[in-house]
Structure 1
């Protein structure tokens, strides 16, 4: 059930209501940003269908070009590591601390690649669902907002999806988490890795995610 929800979470960022035209992404409003990124991605998927059919790994290229620039993967990686970051900050030995910080930097890069592969794999499952987006609202002085969407499919209850958006120092909004019916994608990943991280260490987790990130994308079916 959780896997299905996560699939719907990721699908929702690239699906549109019919008739939406692709546009240049503006990051000054989180509501507009989500809808515009979705539009550009959907348009690119349609345009590159021939290349995707010949080589499903081309989906990774689409994700890197159309989605990754609008995902705050660094902040998401820190959230997944959770208390491990606090543990590093408390290290007194300079050399030990430097080594652990280097591992965190490697984890961020591997986590980014892992996200690309995860998103690319989910795109093979797209059918004909419709996603409705909350209308744009003023965000004023807020730094984190939840942008709501609804997945609509005939004969099934609507599924409510929320995108957590964070504003950076430049005033640009990027997504860092997705929540479906109360289930956070980051919380799920943190729970999955917490025990492994505590038992095996960060080096093991980096190796694990690196292997997953390099898995080839399989065509649907």
Structure 2
């Protein structure tokens, strides 16, 4: 069920198609950023359908070029790690601390690859959903803004999807979480992994996510653990 909701959440970034160049994405306005990234990404998927039909792996290229520049994957990865990051401060052995930092750096890189693979798999499930954007949200003086959308599909109940975007030190906005019908997908992933992180460590979880990210791009079904 979680995978299905996640798929619909991603679609809400991709359903309003206009011609917008990547260079025109307004990172200084979170409302425009979400809309323009959706336009660019879905336009690319539409244009390259002949390539995608022949090779689903090409979806990774589209995700890398059109979507990932606007995802704050580092912040998301650290949120998933949660208290594991703060434990480093308590380490007194320098060698142990250096290794812990390397483990976190690797986790961030692997988590990024995992997101690329996940998004690529999600895009195989597109069935032409319609998305309605709420009025633009005020963002002056804020560092986190929630962009609200509603997914409308014939014969099915509407689904509310909120995108959480944050401003970095340079004043640019990037998405880091999606809230589907009140469920934070980032919190869900943290809950899924926190037991493993606590019992088996960051390196083990990185290995697990790395294995998942290397699976062929294919229809993922409704598994909550994909």
TM-score by length of 1: 0.95
* C-alpha distance in 1 between matches for 2:13 and 2:109: 22
Shift of 1:134: 2.2
Q: RMSD across aligned C-alpha pairs, in angstroms?
A: 1.5
Q: Is the aligned partner of 1:22 residue 2:20?
A: yes
CA distance in 1, matches of 2:37, 2:159: 20
Distance 1:182 1:49 in 2: 33
Conserved? CA contact 2:114–2:209, under 8 Å: yes
- Hey, what's the Cα distance between the residues in 1 that align with 2:218 and 2:187? 27
Contact residue 41 and residue 66 of structure 1 kept, 8 A: yes
Partner of 1:50: 50
Equivalent residue number for residue 202 of structure 2: 202
Q: State the SS of the aligned residue for 1:201.
A: helix
Deviation per CA, 1:56-76: give whole Å up to 9, x if none.
Answer: 000000000000000000000
Alignment of 1:5-154 (within 5 A): 5-16=5-16, 20-23=18-21, 24-154=24-154
What count of residue pairs does the alignment treat as equivalent? 219
| 2:166 match | 166
Q: What is the distance in 1 between the residues matched to 2:147 and 2:28?
A: 14
- Structure 2 residues not aligned, in runs of 5+: 222-226
TM-score (norm 2): 0.93
Q: CA deviation at 1:35?
A: 0.3
Q: Which runs of 5+ in 1 are unaligned?
A: none
Structure-1 separation of matches of 2:164 and 2:60: 23
Using the alignment, how far apart are the partners of 2:219 and 2:150 within structure 1? 27
Q: Distance in 2 between matches of 1:82 and 1:112?
A: 16
CA distance in 2 between counterparts of 1:219 and 1:180 reads 20
Instruction: Kindly indicate whether the alpha-carbon contact (under 8 Å) linking 2:134 and 2:148 is maintained by their aligned counterparts in 1.
Output: yes
Question: Following TM superposition, where does structure 1 have runs of at least 4 consecutive aligned residues deviating by more than 3 angstroms?
Answer: none
Which stretch has the larger CA shift, 87-96 or 139-148?
Answer: 87-96
Question: Would the aligned equivalents of 2:122 and 2:220 in 1 still touch at CA under 8 Å?
Answer: no
The whole-number CA distance in structure 1 between the counterparts of 2:2 and 2:209 is 19
